[in-house]
Amino acid sequence: MTAAVTADQASHGRTVITSRAVRRVVSAVTAEALDAKASDVSVELTDRDGGLTLVAKAPVRITPLGLPNRASGTLLDRLTSAQTTIRERVRQLTGTEVERVDLQITGAELSQRRRVS
C-alpha cells in the first residue's frame, strides 16, 4: 500500500535564477522603461549583501518638440520614473531586491513623425 503525500509533507526544492537570466530581465525592463530596443541596452550587475545594484546604459527615445502626443515633464522626471519602474519590475519578476539603479544615457533617439498620405 502506498501512502499519499500532502502538499505540506512534500519536500520543497530551491529555485535559483542565474545572473545571465537576471541580466536579460533587467535589459528587457530597462528597454521598456526607456522606450529603447533591448539590444541597445547594456547592463552591469553587482550584488551587495543580497541587494542588487545595477548600472544600465541605453539611449532614450524623445518625442520632437511641437508634437501633440509629447510626454509631459522633463527628461529628468522621465528618467527618475524609469529608475523606480525598473526597480519595482525587476523585484516583481525575479524576487531580487534592487538597492540602486544607475542610468547612463548613451544617446537620444527622436521618435519619427508618421506621415499620412
Domain ranges in the chain are 19-109
Architecture in CATH for domain 19-109: 2-Layer Sandwich (3.30)
What pTM did the predictor assign? 0.76
Q: What is the reported pLDDT for 112?
A: 66
Task: Note the Cα 63 to chain centre separation in Å.
Answer: 21
| DSSP H helices in the chain | 19-34, 75-94
Query: What would the pLDDT profile of 31-73 be if each residue is shown by its tens digit?
Result: 999 988 989 999 999 988 878 899 999 998 887 776 666 566 7
pLDDT exceeds cutoff 70 at 6 = no
